[in-house]
Amino acid sequence: MRSSGLDARLHGLFGAAVLLATLLCSGRSRGHGFEHSAALDAGGRYVVKWRFDETSITFEIEAETRGYIGFGLSPNGAMASADLVIGGVANGIPYLHDYFADSSRVVHKDPVQSYKLLYGKENYTHTVLAFSRDLQTCDPKDRAITSGTMRVIWALHNEDVGPSGPAYHGINRGRKSLRFLNPGTSRKVSPETATFDLLNVNVPVPDKDTTYWCQMFKMPEVQKKHHIIRIEPLIQKGHENLVHHILLYQCDSSLNESELDMGHECFHPNMPDSFTTCETVIFAWAIGGEGFTYPIHVGMSIGTDVDPVYVLMEVHYDNPALQTGTALLVDSSGLRLYYTPRLRTYDAGVIETGVWVSLYHMLPPGMQDYITEGHCTQECLQESLDSEMPSGVWVFAVLLHAHLAGRAIRTRHFREQVELPPLASDDQFDFNFQEFQPLSPEQLILPGDSLITECMYNTKDRQNMTWGGLSTRDEMCLSYLLYYPRVNLARCESLPEITGQLKFIGVKQIQSPLTTWPFVIKSPKRYSNLSFTEAMDKFRWTKKRAKAFNEVVLNLPMNVRCSKIGLDEWSVSRRAGQVGPCIWFTSCLIRY
């Protein structure tokens, strides 16, 4: 029975799309204008615009070619098994066909033509094509368009599709992660709204793939309460492809201001200690994203005692082409905050839920699918909401957050013993494309509800254990809930007990008292004097053992961290022996 639990989870994480597909398989829309757009290439030669309704989506692609335009949805950004649509304008007549690529990347015409051509035109330089399709097409060769991340691929050719099919596109192609079904958060804020910029100043971007640059800022100093109502990226001209994503964290308010002006490579051993007090994500933008506008009844409060004073901006630079050339690349990108004294009805809050960031959150190497769970328990939400907001809080956006090994994440929602629809899910998680997903409609969380953040990881290309931690090679399994009205609850997380994890690899005794971190093992001899992390690495992991370990961990008792803003934590650390209610054990929860 136990192993079927894990299989059920795997299935559950991927089964959601299938379930949705049965809901509606028809319907078509014709609206006006396109609310969303994104350039898929660096130079803006290929721009896709779109709009959608409950059942269908309409695209308009404008590309710099007089030949064909290719557009596809892929499982992972590669050509294999992608859903493709290719069209153009030949001799003044627009054409469009539905194709698919098989697992060997051979392109076939799809027997079921799900994409419908609306119009097409071309001039001496450009082609414009508009077409629509159902979100769920009922054709297994098409990929469902869901609210999660979609891996979009594109191609251009200077010739139209000939009788023998589309010619190979060569290097005129690319990929990008996008979310098509974000409800249109209007970009507009009234023009007199004050702005405040958090900008890096001439950051030297090294010629390496990945640089994370951290800089601390003080929020705008205002004499009375204001609301931040929109945050958007400010990317230096020409650096659209260099600045990959930006996260904004709220820091501890008791900071030494002398550290304010220091920018530093993040997670570097010399990084100032104060940077590590900035843990809660309050904004996230990623390449392809559009910025975030709060719903009209909500704003992020600044200027009162309980509001964030300091924030840390983490900018991820991606310089794979190593554009150094002659001069060192320097960047001054950042974020723009819009804030207003015209207060909205509610203050927004952020709750961090998921797996408590710790070395006790560990992933064995070589796994295609490894699952971890972080619980925001019934007791925690009960205790916090009962006293402050017995009528519950409304979640209006969710950021799902993991690092490089993350493949899929969802935030499950339970009321009593009943599972409600997930608050958010993404079964094609892409580390480089993280943003808050607005929820439509907003979701109510009541005292006594509980949440499980479930993450699936791929550690196939790793030789050693992966540890919970802040750096991108370490892992996280978090979902940040943006909600209102604000209550004093910062974190609602859990962590599996370490004892059971150590027992799995045969640890008998640890050295006590604990004087080092990570602590050291005493027996058996093969691990003696090794830290527990070294011992875990020394264990000979196989796929079978790692799978068994996954089962064990999912059924271990957990420690729960239910904490207020600032440092005072409450109801932390429940040990197995003290655990009363069944809810502390994952094995007691409803499984599918």
Ligand X SMILES: *[C@@H]1O[C@H](CO)[C@@H](O)[C@H](O)[C@H]1NC(C)=O
Instruction: Determine, following the binding rule CB under 6 A, whether residue 391 of this chain makes contact with ligand X.
Output: no
Output the smallest distance, CB 334 to ligand X, in A: 24
Interface segment toward ligand X; rule CB under 6 A; list 71-79, 212-220, 523-531, 550-558? 523-531
Binding mask 50-89 for ligand X (x = CB under 6 A): ------------x---------------------------
Strand partners, 284: 247
Instruction: Determine, following the binding rule CB under 6 A, whether residue 3 of this chain makes contact with ligand X.
Output: no
The vertex-257 CA angle with 255 and 261, nearest 5°, equals 120
CA–CA separation, 404 vs 459, rounded Å? 9
CA–CA separation, 180 vs 352, rounded Å? 25
Interface segment toward ligand X; rule CB under 6 A; list 22-30, 118-126, 203-211, 282-290? 118-126
Binding mask 257-296 for ligand X (x = CB under 6 A): -x--------------------------------------
- The DSSP result for 178-231, as a single string, is E-S----------TT-EEEEEE--SEEE-SSSEEEEEEEEEPP--SS-EEEEEE
**Closer residue to ligand X, CB minimum distance, 225 or 522:** 522
**Closer residue to ligand X, CB minimum distance, 20 or 47:** 47
Instruction: Determine, following the binding rule CB under 6 A, whether residue 256 of this chain makes contact with ligand X.
Output: yes
CB 406 within 8 A of CB 455: yes
CA–CA separation, 273 vs 269, rounded Å? 9
CB 149 within 8 A of CB 161: no
Interface segment toward ligand X; rule CB under 6 A; list 9-17, 72-80, 122-130, 571-579? 122-130
Helix (H) or strand (E) holding 49: strand 46-52
Instruction: Determine, following the binding rule CB under 6 A, whether residue 49 of this chain makes contact with ligand X.
Output: no
Instruction: Determine, following the binding rule CB under 6 A, whether residue 37 of this chain makes contact with ligand X.
Output: no
Q: Is 338 tagged catalytic?
A: no
The DSSP symbol for 440 reads E
Instruction: Identify the three-state secondary structure at position 365.
Output: coil
Task: State the catalytic residue, choosing from 375, 401, 403, 413.
Answer: 401
Residue 485: is the preceding peptide bond cis (ω within 30°)? yes
Instruction: Determine, following the binding rule CB under 6 A, whether residue 534 of this chain makes contact with ligand X.
Output: yes
Instruction: Determine, following the binding rule CB under 6 A, whether residue 509 of this chain makes contact with ligand X.
Output: no
Contacts of 461 (CB under 8 A, 6+ apart): none
Output the smallest distance, CB 123 to ligand X, in A: 4
CB 430 within 8 A of CB 401: no
Instruction: Determine, following the binding rule CB under 6 A, whether residue 123 of this chain makes contact with ligand X.
Output: yes
Binding mask 128-157 for ligand X (x = CB under 6 A): x-----------------------------
Question: 461 to 490, contacts with ligand X by CB under 6 A?
Answer: 463-464
Question: 298 to 357, contacts with ligand X by CB under 6 A?
Answer: none
Pick the binder of ligand X from 4, 26, 37, 125 (CB under 6 A).
Answer: 125
Question: 537 to 576, contacts with ligand X by CB under 6 A?
Answer: 537
Q: Is 32 tagged catalytic?
A: no
The vertex-380 CA angle with 375 and 384, nearest 5°, equals 140
For 130, half-sphere exposure in the C-beta direction (CA atoms, 13 angstrom radius) is 14
Q: Which residue type sits at 128?
A: V
CB 308 within 8 A of CB 251: yes
**Closer residue to ligand X, CB minimum distance, 125 or 158:** 125
The vertex-282 CA angle with 280 and 286, nearest 5°, equals 110
Task: State the catalytic residue, choosing from 99, 115, 212, 370.
Answer: 212
Strand partners, 132: 58, 116
Output the smallest distance, CB 374 to ligand X, in A: 25
Instruction: Determine, following the binding rule CB under 6 A, whether residue 529 of this chain makes contact with ligand X.
Output: yes
Instruction: Determine, following the binding rule CB under 6 A, whether residue 254 of this chain makes contact with ligand X.
Output: no
Q: Which residue type sits at 394?
A: W
Pick the binder of ligand X from 49, 126, 169, 225 (CB under 6 A).
Answer: 126
CB 285 within 8 A of CB 383: no
Instruction: Determine, following the binding rule CB under 6 A, whether residue 415 of this chain makes contact with ligand X.
Output: no
# residues near ligand X by CB under 6 A: 15
Interface segment toward ligand X; rule CB under 6 A; list 200-208, 274-282, 351-359, 522-530? 522-530
Distances (CA, A) of 517 to 46, 234, 509: 52, 41, 16
Interface with ligand X (CB under 6 A): 62, 123-126, 128, 256, 258, 463-464, 525, 528-529, 534, 537
Query: Which residues are catalytic, by number?
Result: 212, 401
